[in-house]
Amino acid sequence: MIIKMKKGSSKNQYKKVVDFLESKGLEIKDVSSEQVTIFGIIGDTTQIEPFDLYAFEGVGDVTRVSTPFKKASRSFHPKDTIIELPNGLKIGGDHFTLMAGPCSVESEAQLRTIAKAVSKTGTKILRGGAYKPRTSPYSFQGMGLDGLKLLRKVADEFGMLVVSEMMTPNLLHEFNQYVDIIQIGARNMQNFDLLKMLGKTDKPILLKRGLSSTIEEWLMSAEYIMASGNDQIILCERGIRTFENYTRNTLDISSVLAVKELSHLPVIVDPSHAAGRWEMIENLSLAALAVGSHGLIVEVHHDPEHALSDGAQSLKPKKYENMVKKLQNIAAVTGKDVQ
């Protein structure tokens, strides 16, 4: 961390902040010149929030030069994390993993129809929402526990695994029972009580990026989970909020590369929530493969017009099948293994 004092700040102000830092066991290296008073801080600075140092009068700029996360950082863990699932499926490295299914579980028949269709393409992870975060209290809120049970039942029929979103720490027991990968949604990325609870399960966590989260904040949320004891995390880019509203969100495809540089954790892409328009899903998925992500989570529905949520961004099974073929074609020349 580097601190630059304000022009005209006093020696006493300088002393106060230096004393404070030294009391934390940190070492000061001064590099001041005639024009400017500036010094570096050596040691474990993750205990300090740079912003808090502005509380000291005279402090001008505080700049962090090391990442605030440790366990999630590639510096501390240079090799790629590869997550191994119960059925031997692997996420990370050269694997390109597909997760597909409806936005919401609506009925056993609906889920089976879709699971059958996506399973046929070789997709081995079934997605589906049982508890739904909806902007409006008047919208369908999900089937709840019955939805979780249906997911387990139908996935087992087709030899698939289940990924589903958990919104409250109170349901951890049920998710442990019925689900293989626990999804934390964008709106809960900084629901810290929820994150801390995830140390109490050994299920892998699919951690979506918040709508307006920086890459650093996203990795800090991963750090929360890791700090509480669970290091099986799959990150998921799903679009960020910007001024552009032709698409529902703006897919930040570069974030895949940033995550791969900063962290060892696998990172997949959710083109459905990013675009919000099914017409774009195929091409964004091809781009997600080409850019180097580790997989996709895609909404598929056989009757999107009557879907209880997100029909607009759901692919019909036939379109999904075509897309998987194109993914396989590109994967064949880029050394990836679509699964």
Instruction: Name which of residues 92 to 131 contact its own copies (CB under 8 A).
Output: none
**Alpha helix ranges (H) inside 72-127:** 108-120
The interface region with its own copies, picked from 43-51, 82-90, 111-119, 147-155 by CB under 8 A, is 43-51
Under rule CB under 8 A, residue 279 binds its own copies: yes
Shortest distance, position 200 Cβ to its own copies, whole Å: 15
Amino acid found at 15: K
Q: Which of residues 1-30 bind its own copies (CB under 8 A)?
A: 2, 4, 7, 16-17, 20, 27, 29
Rounded Cα distance, 157 and 321, in Å: 20
Cβ within 8 Å of residue 31, ≥6 positions away: 38, 39, 40
For 80, which DSSP code? Answer: P
Under rule CB under 8 A, residue 77 binds its own copies: no
Residue closer to its own copies by CB (options 2, 85) is 2
Residue closer to its own copies by CB (options 93, 153) is 93
Give the number of residues in contact with its own copies, rule: CB under 8 A.
114
Element (H, E) at 83: strand 83-84
Shortest distance, position 261 Cβ to its own copies, whole Å: 7
Q: Which of residues 150-209 bind its own copies (CB under 8 A)?
A: 167-170, 187-188, 190-193, 196
Tell which residue, 174, 173, 219, has the closest CA to residue 200: 173
Under rule CB under 8 A, residue 310 binds its own copies: yes
Rounded Cα distance, 276 and 37, in Å: 50
Rounded Cα distance, 275 and 4, in Å: 42
Rounded Cα distance, 120 and 117, in Å: 5
Shortest distance, position 196 Cβ to its own copies, whole Å: 8
The interface region with its own copies, picked from 42-50, 108-116, 119-127, 144-152 by CB under 8 A, is 42-50
The answer to whether the CB of 189 falls within 8 A of the CB of 218 is yes
Residue closer to its own copies by CB (options 140, 158) is 140
Residue closer to its own copies by CB (options 153, 187) is 187
